[in-house]
């Protein structure tokens, strides 16, 4: 028997004194051509690290600037000393092998991709398909990519490795690339999945483990947001603990009370929450998301919605508060009052 699994990804955005904008399905007029899988791994670029050990990584990169736990059995080794060379490697907790990596930095060799690569070039030079099939531990898996997936985050097979390419739909360019092995792809389930056999799933996390994942995700969202702003020649945002506490409470409240909105059941919006949190501001904006795989997917998702994007790229904002609770994400952007 085949079983189908779907994710319910949600996004929303708001600016104080303006209306909220709901994320709608992104439409596109062109049709991507279905092609065959790529047969082998790239011979250059950072994707070569998939399958190598943490000791090899240490020899090449040195100690990471930060280690963030994930919800999928690996730890993110973050190298963020320079935003233009930002990269994060997922190191399996058990065998210490690198199972995934991600970067959106312009100076990282993401061959056969590169940041700001045009969509036309991507489609012309690489083979893509609307589905990926694989067998893992006796279970057959088939990932189905929708038309939207193909135009926003196509999945490309390179031998026993997979590349999830995030596209900036507004500019028609590559905005980030995630490489991963088969098990990580299965754990993430980033696309509609049909399988026959026993589904391999991540272990359940304790509340304390979730707290560590949330804290790491908050820092990643700050880093990735600043990389995007730098790409557009905007100033970086300063992380604000007080604003982050406000954002965290909203993420927690949405999950606990089972709603997804900028206005809480007690009729309070982002402005009310900031005031209650003791934040004096001149202007503020809020992005929220839910049920994304992780911080990377949430930020890439926000970038592809005009409302979210406008807030992320607002030149007036100087502070950022980030709150993550399980798979609920909140960004609060603030321009402080004089």
Q: Please give the DSSP secondary-structure letter assigned to residue 317.
A: -
Whether the predicted pLDDT of 329 surpasses 90: yes
| pTM of the predicted model over 0.85 | yes
Res 38: pLDDT = 61
d(CA 164, CA 66): 24
- Distance, in Å, from the CA atom of 34 to the CA atom of 127, rounded to the nearest integer, reads 8
**Phi and psi, residue 183, nearest 5°:** -60, -40
- Those residues whose C-beta lies under 8 Å from the C-beta of residue 44, and which sit 6 or more positions away, are 109, 111
In this structure, are residues 185 and 202 in contact, taking their beta carbons and an 8 Å threshold? Answer: no
pLDDT at 18 over 70: no
- If one counts every other C-beta atom within 10 angstroms of the C-beta of residue 31, the result is 9
Local confidence band at 40 (pLDDT 50, 70, 90 cut-offs): confident
Q: Is 224 helix (H, G, I), strand (E, B) or coil?
A: helix
Q: What is the mean pLDDT of residues 175-204?
A: 97
Name the region of 150 (left: φ>0; alpha: ψ -120 to 50; beta: rest).
alpha
Q: How far is it, in rounded angstroms, from Cα 234 to Cα 33?
A: 36
48-71: average pLDDT: 98
Q: What pairs with residue 143 in β-bridges?
A: 132, 193
Query: What is the phi/psi pair of residue 190, to 5°?
Result: -80, -5
* pLDDT band for position 29 (cuts 50, 70, 90): very low
Domains defined for the chain, CATH in brackets: 38-196 (3.40.33.10), 207-336 (3.40.33.10)
In the three-class reduction of DSSP (H, G, I as helix; E, B as strand; rest coil), residue 64 is classed as coil
pLDDT in tens, 123-176: 888 878 899 999 999 999 999 999 999 999 999 999 999 999 999 999 999 999
Q: What is the mean pLDDT of the chain?
A: 90
Mean pLDDT within 228-252: 98
Whole-number pLDDT of residue 286: 97
Contacts with 193 (C-beta within 8 Å, 6 or more apart), sequence order = 4, 5, 6, 141, 142, 143, 144
Question: Residue 127: its pLDDT value, please?
Answer: 79
List pLDDT tens digits, range 83-123: 999 999 999 999 999 999 999 999 999 999 999 999 999 98
Predicted confidence (pLDDT) per residue in 252-304, tens digit: 999 999 999 999 999 999 999 999 999 999 999 999 999 999 999 999 999 99
Kindly state the average pLDDT of the residues 65-75: 98
Per-residue pLDDT averaged across 35-41, rounded? 61
Model confidence band, residue 4 (pLDDT cutoffs 50, 70, 90): low
The answer, yes or no, to whether residue 37 has pLDDT greater than 80, is no
């Amino acid at each position: 028997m085949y079983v189908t699994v779907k994710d319910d990804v949600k996004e929303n955005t708001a600016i104080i004194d303006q209306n909220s904008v709901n994320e709608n399905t992104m439409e596109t007029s062109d049709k991507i051509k279905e092609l065959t899988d790529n047969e082998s791994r790239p011979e250059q670029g950072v994707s070569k690290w998939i399958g190598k050990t943490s000791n090899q990584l240490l020899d090449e990169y040195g100690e990471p600037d930060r280690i963030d736990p994930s919800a999928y059995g690996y730890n993110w080794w973050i190298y963020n000393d320079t935003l233009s060379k930002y990269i994060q490697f997922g190191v399996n907790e058990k065998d210490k092998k690198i199972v995934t990596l991600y970067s959106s930095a312009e100076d990282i060799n993401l061959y056969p991709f590169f940041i700001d690569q045009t969509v036309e070039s991507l489609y012309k030079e690489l083979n893509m398909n609307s589905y990926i099939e694989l067998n893992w531990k006796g279970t057959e898996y088939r990932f189905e990519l929708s038309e939207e997936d193909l135009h926003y985050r196509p999945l490309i097979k390179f031998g026993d490795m997979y590349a999830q390419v995030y596209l900036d739909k507004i500019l028609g360019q590559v905005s980030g690339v995630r490489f991963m092995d088969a098990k990580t792809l299965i754990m993430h389930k980033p696309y509609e999945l049909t399988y026959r056999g026993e589904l391999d799933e991540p272990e359940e996390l304790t509340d304390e483990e979730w707290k560590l994942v949330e804290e790491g995700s908050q820092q990643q969202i700050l880093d990735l947001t600043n990389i995007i702003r730098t790409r557009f020649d905007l100033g970086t945002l300063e992380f604000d603990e007080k604003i982050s506490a406000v954002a965290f409470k909203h993420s927690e409240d949405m999950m606990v009370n089972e709603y997804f909105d900028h206005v809480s059941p007690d009729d309070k919006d982002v402005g009310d929450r900031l005031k209650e949190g003791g934040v004096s501001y001149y202007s503020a904006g809020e992005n929220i998301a839910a049920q994304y795989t992780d911080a990377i997917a949430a930020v890439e998702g926000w970038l592809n919605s005009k409302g979210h994007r406008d807030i992320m790229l607002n030149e007036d904002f100087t502070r950022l508060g980030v709150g993550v609770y399980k798979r609920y994400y909140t960004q609060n952007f603030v321009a402080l009052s004089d």
